[in-house]
Structure 1
């Protein structure tokens, strides 16, 4: 199966926020007013109501200069997603284009995915169920899977004026990232590709001008050990134990029925002696 990825080249991003606006418009996301925190940052991070945030960071250069660092931030769609591992309802799955999807009707708002996301992306937000009830459900970037199914690009990619965000087949995006990295290193000696292996690689990866921590990114994010234990050990063991338990219950039920039937026959009335030799 062909997998796809989104490449974000921060070295050519100008911080125009067109990606934010496009995401809000296409996904019909509500206005989310946040307290002013100073500077030009509109939202601190992605939330359940704002799936795509252009993060702006003031950075002092090695020679004492000053520069702005811009970074498109959204769900990374990890190949080995912690949120998928910890979901007790099976509401989080991998989509046909490589996205990590959340079934809003299956989600119960337990917040396990929120607490275990190594990038602090997933959050709960109001969701109107099929019955018309408003519930708290985990929500985040969907990689515009509905657009991809129609042969369109994700809305943030489609609107980026400088091709700082590009989308395509994963191998092509990895190759393009290497090409852009070579160009970036001419101006940014510490430039590097951010595609952390600890989460199996991400379906949204970066060409960064400096090390990840400069951009507020974890250097080596990993799937939490608790998530691995839960998904790969505890759940299979629990299902196996449940199977054994159910077999025991079923065996007991059948045995009980058989014995009770015999007792009922003996106690239920006289035995017809004519049927016995």
Structure 2
């Protein structure tokens, strides 16, 4: 299977929020009422039940004019995902499409993934079981993996009428991103392609009109060394040691019972 990505060109976005609506509809996410933030932005940030938010930033140009800098903000589906590294239950993983998803049956709601994410793209949702007890599960954008499995596009890409969000072959879209960058450089001197290599790139790539921090994105995010050591070394070794210990206990149990059986057999023979 060819590698695929979602390419978001913020310079084509007109702030319609169709991506937000389509995401809510497809994923059957509940509405969330928020207080007025003093801007056109409907939600302050991504939440457990609002997986993508269109951010609004007003920027003054050198000629005195104003530009609206919009961004379709959602999970970037990092190649080296900090949330995946931080999860102690292996409830977060990559799919064949490069999307990062949560296994709700395995998730225990510890919140380590929330703390680890550099993009504040994953949050804990609260539920109540049949006995009235509250429990939590991590939730975020899945890049519509269920749609991808059926050969469909992510809902946000399908709904975007300006072509600001497209999904397709990785090499083709990265090439088109370079062409687009050359076209907009005159108007946006600081324009750049945001695909941070500190995390080996992302499955959602941006064409930004200004530096990443203008859009609330970290310049060069990285997975913490402690998370890498924990996930890639300490946890596997710990499981191996636990497995060895378990086998030793089982072996000891079997050996003890065999010895008892042998002694019992020898005792019976001595009485014959």
**Range with greater deviation from structure 2 (247-256 or 166-175):** 247-256
Contact 1:87 1:113 in 2 (8 A): yes
| TM-fit CA distance, 1:125 | 1.2
Corresponding pairs, count: 272
Could you give the per-residue CA deviations for residues 117-162 of structure 1, whole angstroms, max 9, x where no partner exists? 1111100114588999874211111111222222221111111111
Name the Cα RMSD after superposition.
2.2
CA distance in 2, matches of 1:236, 1:149: 30
| TM-fit CA distance, 1:95 | 1.3
Larger Rg: 1
| TM-fit CA distance, 1:114 | 0.9
Residue 121 of structure 2 corresponds to which residue in structure 1? Answer: 121
The alignment partner of 1:168 has SS state of strand
Residue 226 of structure 1 corresponds to which residue in structure 2? Answer: 226
Show structure 1 runs of 5+ residues with no match: 273-277
CA distance in 2, matches of 1:115, 1:39: 27
Residue 15 of structure 1 corresponds to which residue in structure 2? Answer: 15
For 1:196-215, list aligned pairs within 5 A: 196-215=196-215
The alignment partner of 1:240 has SS state of helix
CA distance in 1, matches of 2:89, 2:131: 19
CA distance in 2, matches of 1:70, 1:145: 25
| TM-fit CA distance, 1:71 | 0.4
| TM-fit CA distance, 1:61 | 3.5
Residue 105 of structure 1 corresponds to which residue in structure 2? Answer: 105
Residue 3 of structure 2 corresponds to which residue in structure 1? Answer: 3
CA distance in 2, matches of 1:95, 1:48: 20
**1:254 matched to 2:236:** no
CA distance in 2, matches of 1:130, 1:72: 37
| TM-fit CA distance, 1:38 | 0.9
| TM-fit CA distance, 1:210 | 1.0
Residue 195 of structure 1 corresponds to which residue in structure 2? Answer: 195
CA distance in 2, matches of 1:84, 1:141: 14
CA distance in 1, matches of 2:174, 2:127: 36
Pair 181,270 (structure 1): closer, same or farther in 2 beyond 3 Å: same
CA distance in 2, matches of 1:27, 1:158: 14
The alignment partner of 1:167 has SS state of strand
Residue 80 of structure 2 corresponds to which residue in structure 1? Answer: 80
CA distance in 1, matches of 2:98, 2:270: 72
CA distance in 1, matches of 2:115, 2:64: 38
| TM-fit CA distance, 1:52 | 1.0
Pair 75,46 (structure 1): closer, same or farther in 2 beyond 3 Å: same
- TM-score, length basis structure 2: 0.92
Show structure 2 runs of 5+ residues with no match: none
Contact 1:105 1:129 in 2 (8 A): no
The alignment partner of 1:6 has SS state of strand
CA distance in 1, matches of 2:127, 2:205: 29
CA distance in 1, matches of 2:137, 2:28: 16
**1:271 matched to 2:271:** yes
| TM-fit CA distance, 1:195 | 0.1
- TM-score, length basis structure 1: 0.91
| TM-fit CA distance, 1:65 | 4.6
